[in-house]
Structure 1
Amino acid sequence: MKNNILIISLLCASLLSCNKTKTENHHVHESEEQVILSEKQVASVGIDLDTIPLIMMGKNIKAHGQIAVPPSFNASVTTLIGGNIQSIKVKEGDKVYKGQVLATIIHPDIAKVQTEYIKAYNEMNYLKKEYEREQTLYGAKLSAGKTFQKAESEYRAAKAVVEGYKVQLRQLHMSPERILNGIIYDHITITAPIKGYIQEVPVHIGQYVDNGTPIFNIVDNSQLHADLMVYEKDIPYIHAGQLVKLKLTADPDNEYTGKVETIGKSFEEDPKALHIHVELDRKSNIMMPKMYLTGEIYTDPQTKTAMKDDAIIEEDGKNYIFMATTKDDHIIFNPVEIVKGETDNGYTEIKLTKDLPKGSKFVQNNAYYIIAEMKKSETSHEH
Structure 2
Amino acid sequence: MNSVYLKSRSNHPAISHALGLWIIAAMIGLYSCSSSSDPEIITDIAQESSGVETYEVTKMQFESSHMALGTMQMVPFHEVVKAKGMIDVPPENRAAVSSYFGGAVKEISLLPGQSVKKGQVLFVLENPDYVQIQQDFLEAKGQLAYLQSDYERQKNLVQDSISSQKKFLKAESDYTVTSARVASLGKKLALMNIDPNTFTLENIRTSIALRSPISGYVTEVAISQGAFLTPSQMAVSIVNTDHVHLELNVFEKDLAKIRIGQPIRFRIQEDSSKEYEAAIYLISKTIDPEERTVGIHGHLVDEKLTQRFNPGMYVEASIYTASEEKWALPNDALVEMEGNFYVLTLQNSSETGYTFVKRVVKTGLSNNDHIEILGGSGLDETTEFLIDGTFNLIKE
TM-score by length of 2: 0.74
Where does 1:305-324 land on structure 2 (aligned, <5 Å)? 306=328, 309=331, 312-315=334-337, 317-320=340-343
How far apart are 1:248 and its partner, in Å? 2.0
* Alignment partner, residue 200 of structure 1: 220
In 2, distance between residues paired with 1:31 and 1:187? 90
In 2, distance between residues paired with 1:284 and 1:322? 46
CA separation of 1:20 and 1:158: change in aligned 2, threshold 3 A:
closer
In 2, distance between residues paired with 1:259 and 1:336? 43
3-state SS, counterpart of residue 387 of structure 2: strand
In 2, distance between residues paired with 1:326 and 1:164? 93
3-state SS, counterpart of residue 289 of structure 1: coil
Q: Which amino acid aligns with 2:186?
A: K
* Alignment partner, residue 317 of structure 2: 295
* Alignment partner, residue 157 of structure 1: 177
Q: Which amino acid aligns with 1:71?
A: P
Where does 1:91-240 land on structure 2 (aligned, <5 Å)? 91-240=111-260
* Alignment partner, residue 362 of structure 1: 387
Contact conserved, 2:47 with 2:54, CA < 8 A, in 1?
no
CA separation of 1:173 and 1:240: change in aligned 2, threshold 3 A:
same
Contact conserved, 1:100 with 1:191, CA < 8 A, in 2?
yes
How far apart are 1:118 and its partner, in Å? 0.8
Which among 38, 42, 57 is matched to residue 77 of structure 2?
Answer: 57
Deviation larger for 299-308 or 192-201: 299-308
3-state SS, counterpart of residue 23 of structure 1: helix
Contact conserved, 2:71 with 2:383, CA < 8 A, in 1?
no
Q: Which amino acid aligns with 2:263?
A: L
How far apart are 1:159 and its partner, in Å? 0.7
How far apart are 1:98 and its partner, in Å? 2.2
User: C-alpha offsets along residues 120-171 of structure 1, whole Å, 9 cap, x if unaligned?
Assistant: 2122223223323322432332221122112111111111111122222223
Deviation larger for 89-98 or 254-263: 89-98
Contact conserved, 2:89 with 2:241, CA < 8 A, in 1?
yes
Contact conserved, 2:103 with 2:228, CA < 8 A, in 1?
yes
How far apart are 1:81 and its partner, in Å? 1.4
- Percent identity at matched positions? 26
* Alignment partner, residue 366 of structure 2: 343
How far apart are 1:37 and its partner, in Å? 3.6
Q: Which amino acid aligns with 1:193?
A: P
3-state SS, counterpart of residue 166 of structure 1: helix
How many corresponding residue pairs?
347
In 2, distance between residues paired with 1:321 and 1:49? 10
3-state SS, counterpart of residue 221 of structure 1: coil
Contact conserved, 2:334 with 2:391, CA < 8 A, in 1?
no
In 1, distance between residues paired with 2:323 and 2:173? 72
CA separation of 1:253 and 1:375: change in aligned 2, threshold 3 A:
closer
Which among 75, 80, 87 is matched to residue 100 of structure 2?
Answer: 80
Contact conserved, 1:174 with 1:185, CA < 8 A, in 2?
no
Deviation larger for 242-251 or 226-235: 242-251
How far apart are 1:268 and its partner, in Å? 2.1
Q: Which amino acid aligns with 1:300?
A: A
Deviation larger for 145-154 or 84-93: 84-93
Higher-Rg member (1/2): 2
3-state SS, counterpart of residue 34 of structure 1: strand
Which among 45, 57, 72 is matched to residue 34 of structure 1?
Answer: 57
Deviation larger for 132-141 or 70-79: 132-141
CA separation of 1:121 and 1:276: change in aligned 2, threshold 3 A:
same
Contact conserved, 2:56 with 2:353, CA < 8 A, in 1?
no
Contact conserved, 1:39 with 1:331, CA < 8 A, in 2?
no
Unaligned regions of 5+ residues in structure 1, if any? 1-18, 377-383
Deviation larger for 307-316 or 340-349: 307-316
